[in-house]
């Protein structure tokens, strides 16, 4: 993620310079434009998805915040002698903490729009004492830009001079909404959308990461707020990453009984991820695609590490940037409409670049020899061919996704899920290889041939309903085909009746034979294909229909010529940036310094030590040969032996090395200690303990 | 004397009308307060558990008698300056005066005494007793050392008729630290007994139902909950949220108010369920009702509700990291070799250990362990090869941030950090189940 931020910054500062350095064809401008446009499209789509996903839970929260103080009136607290509880929404958000920032900022804007302009959000890092917490709350409430749109009164005092206590807030609130009562003009200043907010908008206080708050601060804060609940309408929203029991770990009963909690569960982040994958990667709308390895890697990071969709999207963005940055002809990765113009405007050099793509070379080799020459030499012919090939990929995409969804529906009910439970898993397999050749696919088809009628019809029905979106011309008959199949399934009962007597007749023939012949006949009978019932026939027909459908459309993208233009699969690159492994990098640097120093002298086969290496590398390599405890003197001697050249090597010098060598050695050792490879030990004098094992 | 006797009796009856079962305390306090101009004891210390009516009694006495007073809650006063200013400003507002234009500023006790005298003059209170009520007085002990003695002797210091009333939940003996205290007059508010609870609760009977009927209901509720909970406010809460269920058969026309047996039969299983979540307050009354409706549809609801309370969805490696942390916390480091080394002979060694010698590690709680050990255990139990990427280490930090682990030593990564695992055995079992890992087999206590 750090790398990503760095790159983005660089681009915005002087994109021209940055790109020129590695740009050989002069297409960087175009590529940059394509990238920016493509990313903007994807980004807006993601925003839409995000608001769709959270809309339900946010609606619930908004409703809760609105209704909790419906009957509130100023000064009502004194009449009611029994102390009230603070309405609290326990908002369980899930452990994907990186996503929460965005989620809460959307929640704040939603609440401000729909419930009350008085919203404060507290983060644990700002709230290490009651005082800080209170001042944070008050500052956010007082300096709310929504309240002072056509300002005629000054922002009440500087918060620094003000006493930060709840009573300040109470008097401010009472001032504000009492005057509103009398003068309609000021009430208007709350903004147009606030008409339905009622006379006394509640004050909503959000705790973004409740678990990290200091318990005593939170307890005090809540008890303070409770004392004023009669005078100002407060509503709490607790953002809880784990489970509601966290509240009880933080708050003793005396405090938690001041709250009236209601639980809200945010949708799991996997749901969000599925939406992102389905609507951004698995659609023909966006030409950019992830290759199988990168897709799998991003999924792995998500599932194994953080559950963070935000990081997934960042990964996607990085992949896009790297794709357009490294691939000099990636500006061809555009929509069908622009395709022809782009291809015709290709310069000869660029055409050459496209010709060099591996998939195109393979394609040319498959062509008849007469055509081969044209392809390689005649730019005009090649360009025409490019258009055809790229169009083919576009149509492939438009066919792929509806059919893939059908496949997923068909295999999703199969026990043990040989092709995967989720659509994304099926997709990932498809990216990897031709899915219909895999063993798992064959197993699935076999199992499908054994499904019961009800199940099969249900599957067909689902497939039919998944094909609602506008289909490409080739697939336009598919829904009606499915309907026809379904129809036949419905009518099949009538046919079955007729055929049953035949079977009984046959079994009658078996009588009156001796044991030997009976067995023989039975064996023959077994070998002979059992007569199929009409349902079975139809089922086979259906499965065959689907099988051929899948085989036709679910081709692996890597088998298509010029797929490199759309598919990004630089797995190593993305892994290095997104899933960095610091230790292996350090070990790599220490064991083969030439990789980083780019000098010839240090180049050697792994395992050997040469004197030209930096001191720390020599010390590191020597320590690899040691056991758990390393004698410093032995280590020094070995070090001196390596460092000093052969000529001036004598016994005396090794035994008593000069000060400079000793200093170099000690420095190398302490650097290794800093990197965590050795540590001083008290178990034996003049020894250090080794801390790492393995590696080369 | 005759003249003063009647007003006291009047106030006693009027105050105890709103707060029943506290007659003796009210009488005692009122006789201590005496008449407005009389000097009172310098300090009163009232203590008792939560919801025993301490604040309510004192507030209503002060209000009904119209005595000049100020209420301060120590929780709000995170510095002594706030306490002083709250008292001084409160004196103005609580006695019907407009706040002074500039709020009073007061930095220390010395200023406070001076300003206090000044304020009393200002408000013409020299001839009346001024009452300063300090709630959550146990907090005073944590503030500056001079505050508590000074408040106890305020009458003497300010040379005026002032009475400081301290309210607390803990006994006076715990306040004695240091010297120079004037002993306050101590008033205890004892816990309500069952009958008293009933008398108080019955006052909040909902409209439309007779008091006898509601009393019947309350005695049922108390019979179930009194064993686990004597807190009045908690019981009030419980009585309020469960009443709807009790009267359900009446509303449906299946029973009448007098049909108590039938009502109880319908109600009992429900109360048992409610007993599991007493004190938790995880659901508001509306949500509780919704939950009940659902549980009627499928009886599994409560079980699910309880397990989902602690269920947490974690990323795959986080689960393993958490399991590894749990193992490292509850297994002695010596036993790691036995559990995780591939070449050791398990059966031979387990016989050697003498069971009676070791104490149960689960009784002792989690022990801290260094990061290295966590990673070693992690690599021993995780399936497949995992590169030690930055993401793995990030997950440890995020586990700390959601308080499933806690860092106990070493603030940065270079200085070997130590962690503790904070989750329970049940939790880790359920996590381990999701990744098909038999965690019990690796726990030293259960081998």
Name the residue among B82, B313, B395 with its Cβ closest to that of A94: B313
Q: Do B391 and A261 touch (CB under 8 A)?
A: no
pLDDT of residue A510 exceeding 70, the answer is no
Measured in residues, chain A has a length of: 696
Residue A618 shares a structural domain with residue A557: no
The reply to whether residue A245 touches residue B310, judged by beta carbons under 8 angstroms, is yes
What pLDDT score does B342 carry? 65
Question: Residue A229 and residue A85: Cα distance in Å, rounded?
Answer: 8
B390 and A165 in contact by Cβ < 8 A? no
Give CA–CA dist B325/B372, Å, rounded: 11
Instruction: Check if the beta carbon of residue A680 is closer than 8 Å to that of residue A673.
Output: yes
Same-domain status, A122 and A161:
yes
Under an 8 A CB cutoff, do A261 and B281 touch? yes
Top pLDDT among B286 and A191 is at B286
Domain segments of chain B as ranges: 8-188, 194-307, 316-342+358-446
**CB within 8 Å: B312 and A580:** no
CB A260 within 8 A of CB A87: yes
Q: Compute the distance between CA of residue B105 and CA of residue A214 in angstroms, rounded to an integer.
A: 30
The answer for A 582-621 residues in CB contact with B (under 8 A) is 582-584
A243/A155 same-domain check:
yes
Q: What torsion do the CA atoms of A421, A422, A423, A424 make, to the nearest 10 degrees?
A: -120
Any domain includes A648 = yes
Distance CA A277, CA B90 (A): 61
Say how far apart CA B151 and CA B153 lie, in whole Å. 5
C-alpha A187 chain-centroid distance: 45
Q: Which fold has domain B316-342+358-446?
A: Arc Repressor Mutant, subunit A (1.10.10)
Tell me the per-residue pLDDT of A612-626, one tens digit each, with 9 for 90 and over.
888 888 888 888 888
Instruction: Tell how strand B162-168 and strand B43-47 pair up.
Output: parallel
Please identify which residue in the block is written with the tokens 């689902």. Answer: A462
Distance (Å, rounded) from C-alpha A165 to C-alpha A77? Answer: 19
Identify the closest residue of chain A to B229 by CA–CA distance: A253
Closest chain B residue to A86, measured at CA: B284
The pLDDT value recorded for residue B99 is 60
Torsion angle of the four alpha carbons A541, A547, A553, A559, in this order, in degrees rounded to the nearest 10: -150
Same domain membership, residue A223 and residue A303: no
User: CA torsion, points B244, B246, B249, B250, in degrees to nearest 10?
Assistant: -80
Answer yes or no: are the C-beta atoms of A364 and A372 closer than 8 Å.
yes
Among the listed residues A318, A579, A270, A285, the one whose alpha carbon sits nearest the alpha carbon of residue A424 = A270
Task: Classify A435 in phi/psi space as left (phi over 0), alpha (psi -120 to 50) or beta.
Answer: alpha
Residue A5: the pLDDT is 37
Residue of A nearest to B383 (CA): A304
| B-chain residues near A97 (CB < 8 A) | 398, 401-402
CB A683 within 8 A of CB A629: yes
- For residue B389, which residues of chain A lie inside 8 Å, CB to CB? 579-582
**Which one-letter DSSP state was computed for residue A305?**
I
Provide the number of structural domains found in chain A.
Answer: 3
- Same domain for A420 and A469, yes or no, is yes
Question: Residues A489, A592: one domain?
Answer: no
Question: Are A265 and A92 within 8 A, CB to CB?
Answer: yes
Give the distance, in angstroms, between the CA of residue B18 and the centroid of all CA atoms in the same chain. 26
CATH of region B8-188, choose from 3.40.50.170, 3.10.20.30, 1.10.1520.10, 3.40.50.300: 3.40.50.300
**φ/ψ bin of B34: left (φ > 0), alpha (ψ from -120 to 50), beta (otherwise):** left
Q: Tell me the average pLDDT across A472-499.
A: 75
Chain B touched by A168 (CB under 8 Å): no
- A694 vs chain B: nearest CA distance in angstroms? 13
Packed helices A2-22 and A309-326: angle between N→C axes, nearest 10 degrees: 10
Among the listed residues B71, B79, B76, B86, the one whose alpha carbon sits nearest the alpha carbon of residue B165: B71
pLDDT > 80? residue A473 = no
Element (H, E) at B398: helix B390-401
How high is the ipTM of this complex?
A: 0.82
Q: How confident is the model at residue A516 (pLDDT cuts 50, 70, 90)?
A: confident
A136 within domain boundaries: yes
Instruction: Find the mean pLDDT for residues A505-515.
Output: 53
Q: Shortest Cα distance from B269 to chain A (angstroms)?
A: 23
Largest CA distance in chain B: 96
**What pLDDT is recorded for position A495?**
56
Separation of alpha carbons A74 and A198, rounded Å: 13
The sign one gets for the Cα dihedral A99, A102, A108, A113 is: negative
One domain for residues A628 and A664: yes
Instruction: Please state, in angstroms and rounded to a whole number, the distance separating the CA atoms of residues B305 and B326.
Output: 25
Q: What is the pLDDT of residues A631-655, one digit of tens each?
A: 988 898 888 888 876 666 666 666 7
**Residue with more model confidence, A567 or A26:** A567
d(CA B277, CA B289): 14
Q: Which of A469, A455, A450, A454 shows the shortest CA–CA distance to A412?
A: A455
A–B CB contacts, 8 A cutoff, strictly below = 136
A375 close to A364: Cβ distance less than 8 angstroms: yes
Q: Given 3-state DSSP classes, what are the helix, strand and coil percentages for chain A, each rounded to the nearest 5? A: 65, 5, 30
- Tell me: the pLDDT tens digits for A272-315? 888 888 888 888 888 888 888 889 888 888 888 888 888 889 88
Would you call A262 and B287 a contact, using CB atoms and an 8 Å cutoff?
A: yes
Around Cβ B110, how many Cβ atoms within 10 Å?
12
In a domain, A240, yes or no: yes
3-state secondary structure at position A675: helix
Q: Tell me, what's the pLDDT at A667?
A: 93
Q: How far apart are the first and last CA of chain B?
A: 80
**Residue A130's domain spans which residues?**
68-267
In a domain, A110, yes or no: yes
Q: A179 and A85, same structural domain?
A: yes
Mark whether A254 and A290 lie in a shared domain.
no
Alpha carbons B148 and B164: distance in angstroms, whole number: 11
A112 and A202 Cβ atoms separated by less than 8 Å: no
Is residue A554 domain-shared with residue A421, that is, in the same domain? Answer: yes
Q: Which residues of B181-205 are buried (b: 16+ CB within 10 A; e: fewer)?
A: eeebbebebeebeeeebbebbbeeb
**Residues A691 and A676: beta-carbon distance below 8 Å:** yes
Phi, psi (degrees; rounded to nearest 5) at B209: -130, 145
Question: Of B150, B106, B99, B143, which Cα lies nearest the Cα of B122?
Answer: B99
| pTM for the structure as a whole | 0.77
Contact B249, B262 (CB under 8 A): yes
Which string of b and e fits A356-384 if b means at least 16 CB within 10 Å?
Answer: ebebbeebbeeeeeeeeebbeeebeebbe
Inter-axis angle of helices B211-225 and B232-246, nearest 10: 120
* CA separation for the pair B320, A304 (Å, rounded): 10
Contact predicate B50/B190, CB 8 Å: no
Which among B264, B197, B188 has a CA at the least distance from the CA of B229? B197
pLDDT tens profile B311-348:
778 888 889 999 999 999 988 888 887 787 765 554 54
Residue B23 is encoded by which pair of tokens? 């007659």
Instruction: Report angle CA B128, B133, B134 to the nearest 5 degrees.
Output: 150
DSSP state of A135: H
Kindly report the average pLDDT of chain B as a whole number.
Answer: 79
Judgement on whether residues A251 and A289 belong to the same structural domain of the protein: no
Residues of B whose CB is below 8 A from A131: 78-79
Q: Which two tokens stand for residue A672?
A: 């290794």
Residue B227: count of CB within 10 angstroms of its CB: 9
CA distance to partner chain B, nearest, from residue A220 (Å):
6
Domain membership of residue A659 (yes or no) is: yes
| CATH number of the domain encompassing residue A217 | 3.40.50.300
Three-state DSSP at B303 gives helix
Q: State the SS3 of A191-230.
A: CHHHHHHCCCCCEEEEECCHHHCCHHHHHHHHHHHHHCCC
The pLDDT value recorded for residue A191 is 39
DSSP-derived pairing of the beta strands B418-421 and B405-409: antiparallel
Taking CA–CA distances from A162, the nearest residue in chain B reads B103
pLDDT in tens, A371-428: 888 778 888 888 888 888 888 888 888 888 888 888 888 888 887 788 878 888 888 8
Contact A220 B286 (CB under 8 A): no
Mutation for testing the A interface, residue in B56, B62, B78, B203 having most A CBs under 10 Å: B78
Cα B355 to Cα B447: distance, rounded to the nearest angstrom: 10
Query: Is residue A695 a part of any domain in this protein?
Result: no
Work out the average pLDDT over A439-455. 85
Contact A246 B233 (CB under 8 A): no
Q: Token digits for B434? A: 């999701």
Alpha-carbon span A445 to A449, nearest angstrom: 6
- The label of the residue with tokens 């069971």 reads B355
Query: A307 CA to chain B: closest CA distance, Å?
Result: 6
User: Using the beta-carbon criterion (under 8 Å), do B318 and A583 form an inter-chain contact?
Assistant: no
- Inter-chain CB proximity B76 and A90 less than 8 Å: no
What's the pLDDT score for residue B1? 38
CB B439 within 8 A of CB B377: no
Q: How far apart are CA A25 and CA A329, in angstroms?
A: 9
Tens digits of residue pLDDT in B11-49: 788 887 878 888 888 888 888 888 878 888 888 999 988
pLDDT at B324: 92
Whole-number Å distance between alpha carbons of B427 and B377: 19
Q: Are A564 and A390 in contact (CB under 8 A)?
A: no
DSSP letters, A52-73, are HHHHHHHHHHHHHHHHTTTT--
pLDDT in tens, A48-105: 888 888 888 888 888 888 887 776 666 544 444 445 778 888 888 888 777 888 888 8
In a domain, A554, yes or no: yes
pLDDT at B411: 63
Q: Which residues contact residue A626 at a Cβ distance below 8 angstroms, ignoring those fewer than 6 apart? A: A635, A690
Residues A558 and A593 in one domain: no
pLDDT, one tens digit per residue, over B129-158 is: 888 999 888 888 888 888 888 888 888 888
Say if A577 falls within a structural domain. Answer: no
Distance CA A303, CA B293 (A): 36
Residue with tokens 């903004």: A191
């Amino acid at each position: 993620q750090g790398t990503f931020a760095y790159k983005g910054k660089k681009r915005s500062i002087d994109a021209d310079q940055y790109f020129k350095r590695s740009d050989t064809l002069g297409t960087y401008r175009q590529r940059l434009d394509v990238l920016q446009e493509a990313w903007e499209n994807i980004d807006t789509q993601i925003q839409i998805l995000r608001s769709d996903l959270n809309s339900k839970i946010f609606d619930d929260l908004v409703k809760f915040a609105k209704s909790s103080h419906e009957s509130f009136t100023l000064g009502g607290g004194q009449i009611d002698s029994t102390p009230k509880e603070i309405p609290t929404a326990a908002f369980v958000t899930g452990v994907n903490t990186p996503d929460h920032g965005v989620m809460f900022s959307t929640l704040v804007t939603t609440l401000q729009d729909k419930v009350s302009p008085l919203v404060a959000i507290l983060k644990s890092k700002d709230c290490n004492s009651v005082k800080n917490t209170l001042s944070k709350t008050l500052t956010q409430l007082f300096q709310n830009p929504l309240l002072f749109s056509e300002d005629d009164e000054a922002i009440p005092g500087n918060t620094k001079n003000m006493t930060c206590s709840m009573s300040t807030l109470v008097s401010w609130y009472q001032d504000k909404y009492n005057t509103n009562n009398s003068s309609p003009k000021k009430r208007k200043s709350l903004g147009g959308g606030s008409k339905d907010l009622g006379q006394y908008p509640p004050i909503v206080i959000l705790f973004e990461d409740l678990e990290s708050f200091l318990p005593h601060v939170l307890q005090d804060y809540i008890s303070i707020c409770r004392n004023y609940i009669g005078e100002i309408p407060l509503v709490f929203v607790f953002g809880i990453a784990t489970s509601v029991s966290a509240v009880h770990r933080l708050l003793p009963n005396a405090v938690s009984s001041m709250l009236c909690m209601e639980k809200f569960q945010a949708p799991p982040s996997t749901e969000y991820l599925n939406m992102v994958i389905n609507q951004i990667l698995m659609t023909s709308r966006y030409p950019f695609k992830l290759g199988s390895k990168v897709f799998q890697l991003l999924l792995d990071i998500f599932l194994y590490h953080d559950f963070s969709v935000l990081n997934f999207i960042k990964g996607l963005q990085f992949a896009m940037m790297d794709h357009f940055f490294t691939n000099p002809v990636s500006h061809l990765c555009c929509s069908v409409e622009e395709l022809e113009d782009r291809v015709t405007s290709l310069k000869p050099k660029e055409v050459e670049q496209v010709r060099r793509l591996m998939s195109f070379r393979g394609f040319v080799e498959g062509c008849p020899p007469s055509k081969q020459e044209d392809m390689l030499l005649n730019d005009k012919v090649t360009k025409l061919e490019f258009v055809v090939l790229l169009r083919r990929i576009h149509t492939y995409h438009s066919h792929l996704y509806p059919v893939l969804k059908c496949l997923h529906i068909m295999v999703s009910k199969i026990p043990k899920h040989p092709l995967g439970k989720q659509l994304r898993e099926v997709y990932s397999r498809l990216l990897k290889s031709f899915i219909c050749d895999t063993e798992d696919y064959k197993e699935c088809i076999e199992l499908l041939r054994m499904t019961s009628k009800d199940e099969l019809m249900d599957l067909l029905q689902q497939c039919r309903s998944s094909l609602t979106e506008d289909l490409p011309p080739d697939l336009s008959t598919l829904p009606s085909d499915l309907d026809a199949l379904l129809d036949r399934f419905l009518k099949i009962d009538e046919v079955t009746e007729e055929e049953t007597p035949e079977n009984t007749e046959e079994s009658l023939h078996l009588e009156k034979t001796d044991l030997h012949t009976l067995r023989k006949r039975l064996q023959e009978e077994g070998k002979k294909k059992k007569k199929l019932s009409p349902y079975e026939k139809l089922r086979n027909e259906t499965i065959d229909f689907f099988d051929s459908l899948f085989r036709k459309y679910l081709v692996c993208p890597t088998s298509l010529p010029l797929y490199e233009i759309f598919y990004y699969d630089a797995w190593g690159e993305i892994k290095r940036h997104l899933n960095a492994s610091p230790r292996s990098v350090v070990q790599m640097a220490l064991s083969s310094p030439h990789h980083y120093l780019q000098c010839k002298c240090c180049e050697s086969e792994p395992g050997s030590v040469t004197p030209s290496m930096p001191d720390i590398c020599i010390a590191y390599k020597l320590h690899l040969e040691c056991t758990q405890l390393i004698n410093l003197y032995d280590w020094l001697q070995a070090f001196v032996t390596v460092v000093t050249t052969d000529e001036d090597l004598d016994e005396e010098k090794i035994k008593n090395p000069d000060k400079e060598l000793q200093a170099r050695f000690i420095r190398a050792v302490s650097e290794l200690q800093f990197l965590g490879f050795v540590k001083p030990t008290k178990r034996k004098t003049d020894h250090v303990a080794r801390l790492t094992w393995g590696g080369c | 004397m005759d003249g003063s006797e009647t007003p006291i009796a009047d106030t006693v009856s009027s105050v105890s009308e709103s707060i029943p079962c506290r007659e003796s305390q009210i009488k005692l306090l009122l006789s201590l307060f005496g008449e407005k101009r009389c000097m009172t004891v310098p300090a009163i210390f009232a203590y008792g558990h939560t919801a025993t009516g301490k604040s309510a009694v004192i507030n209503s006495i002060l209000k009904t008698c119209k005595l000049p007073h100020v209420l301060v809650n120590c929780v709000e006063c995170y510095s002594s300056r706030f306490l002083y200013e709250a008292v001084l400003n409160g004196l103005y507002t609580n006695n019907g005066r407009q706040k002074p234009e500039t709020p009073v500023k007061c930095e220390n006790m010395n200023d406070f005494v001076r300003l206090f005298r000044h304020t009393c003059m200002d408000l013409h209170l020299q001839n009346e007793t001024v009452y300063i009520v300090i709630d959550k007085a146990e907090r005073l002990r944590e503030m500056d050392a001079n505050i508590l003695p000074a408040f106890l002797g305020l009458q003497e210091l300010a040379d005026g008729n002032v009475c400081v009333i301290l309210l607390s939940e803990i006994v006076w003996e715990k306040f004695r630290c240091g010297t120079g205290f004037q002993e306050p007059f101590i008033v205890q508010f004892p816990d309500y007994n069952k009958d008293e609870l009933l008398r108080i609760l019955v006052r909040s009977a909902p409209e439309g139902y007779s008091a006898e009927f509601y009393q019947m209901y309350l005695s049922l509720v108390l019979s179930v909950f009194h064993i686990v909970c004597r807190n009045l406010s908690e019981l009030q809460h419980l009585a309020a949220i469960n009443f709807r269920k009790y009267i359900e058969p009446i509303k449906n026309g299946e029973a009448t108010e007098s049909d108590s047996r039938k009502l109880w039969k319908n109600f009992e299983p429900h109360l048992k369920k409610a007993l599991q979540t007493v004190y938790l307050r995880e659901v508001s009354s509306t949500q509780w009702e919704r939950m009940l409706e659902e549980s009627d549809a499928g009886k599994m609801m409560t079980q699910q509700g309880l397990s989902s309370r602690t269920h947490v969805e974690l990323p795959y490696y986080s689960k393993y990291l958490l399991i590894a942390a749990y193992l490292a916390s509850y297994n002695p480091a010596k036993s790691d070799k036995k559990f995780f080394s591939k070449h050791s002979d398990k059966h031979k060694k387990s016989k050697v250990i003498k069971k009676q010698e070791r104490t149960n590690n689960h009784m002792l709680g989690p022990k801290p362990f260094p990061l290295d050990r966590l990673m070693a255990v992690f690599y021993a139990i995780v399936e497949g090869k995992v590169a030690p990427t930055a993401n793995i280490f990030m997950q440890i930090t995020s586990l700390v941030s959601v308080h499933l682990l806690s860092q106990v030593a070493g603030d940065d990564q270079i200085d070997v950090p130590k962690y503790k695992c904070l989750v329970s055995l049940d939790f880790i079992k359920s996590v381990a189940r999701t990744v098909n890992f038999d965690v019990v087999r690796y726990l030293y206590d259960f081998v």
